[in-house]
Amino acid sequence: MRIKKLTVSTVTVSLFLLINASCNTPEQDNAETHDAIVAANEQFMTAFNNSDDAALAALYTEDAKLMPSNSDFVSGNEAVQAFWKSVFDMGIKSATLETLEVEGMGDTAWEVGEYTLFTEGEQVADSGKYIVIWKMVSGQWKLHRDIWNTSMPSQPQAE
């Protein structure tokens, strides 16, 4: 008799947990993740537009990797910070990001978007597309892998 009660209780609790877990559909989870990634990108743009390389580096995971065009991997927070400082030193003043799609699963999400970089006077220096793999770290979405490439036509080489 005791085993039957335990089995019924276990089944009841299991059904409750299953029903509760199904309350958040994947679409809801992805919508929440999308909104969180868009908010994180707002922080990125604010730090970028303030030329704050330290604040930018803080938005990445400790073992982040950047994959810029015409370059090797840029790995880890110190290297990420140095990379963004070099971008500012080249005269890039601001950036805009537009999130096109976000999908997530657990503590990982991936984003596809478009970017534009500006120099002084809002002159477009570059525009293109990117993919970011995000990781949830201590309750915050952080950039983990960041790759982008230009959509602008290549310039002919001077001879």
83 pLDDT above the threshold of 90: yes
Where in the sequence is the domain holding 36, given as residue range(s)?
Answer: 25-150
| C-alpha to C-alpha distance for 54 and 61, rounded to whole angstroms | 13
- Domain membership of residue 16 (yes or no) is no
- Domain membership of residue 102 (yes or no) is yes
- Domain membership of residue 8 (yes or no) is no
Across 12-158, the runs of DSSP E, i.e. the strands, are 60-67, 74-75, 94-105, 108-118, 124-137, 140-150
Give the pLDDT mean for 24-42.
81
Spell out the residues 6+ positions from residue 137 whose beta carbon is closer than 8 angstroms to its own.
Answer: 61
Give the pLDDT mean for 50-57.
98
Instruction: Report the range of poorest mean pLDDT among 15-24, 40-49, 93-102, 139-148.
Output: 15-24
- Domain membership of residue 19 (yes or no) is no
- Domain membership of residue 89 (yes or no) is yes
CATH number at residue 117: 3.10.450.50
- Domain membership of residue 77 (yes or no) is yes
Q: How many domains does the chain have?
A: 1
Buried b (16+ CB within 10 A) or exposed e, 33-42: bbebbeebbe
Q: What is the mean pLDDT of the chain?
A: 87
| C-alpha to C-alpha distance for 134 and 120, rounded to whole angstroms | 30
- Domain membership of residue 18 (yes or no) is no
Percentage of the chain beyond pLDDT 70 is: 81
12 pLDDT above the threshold of 90: no
- Domain membership of residue 111 (yes or no) is yes
Give the pLDDT mean for 121-129.
96
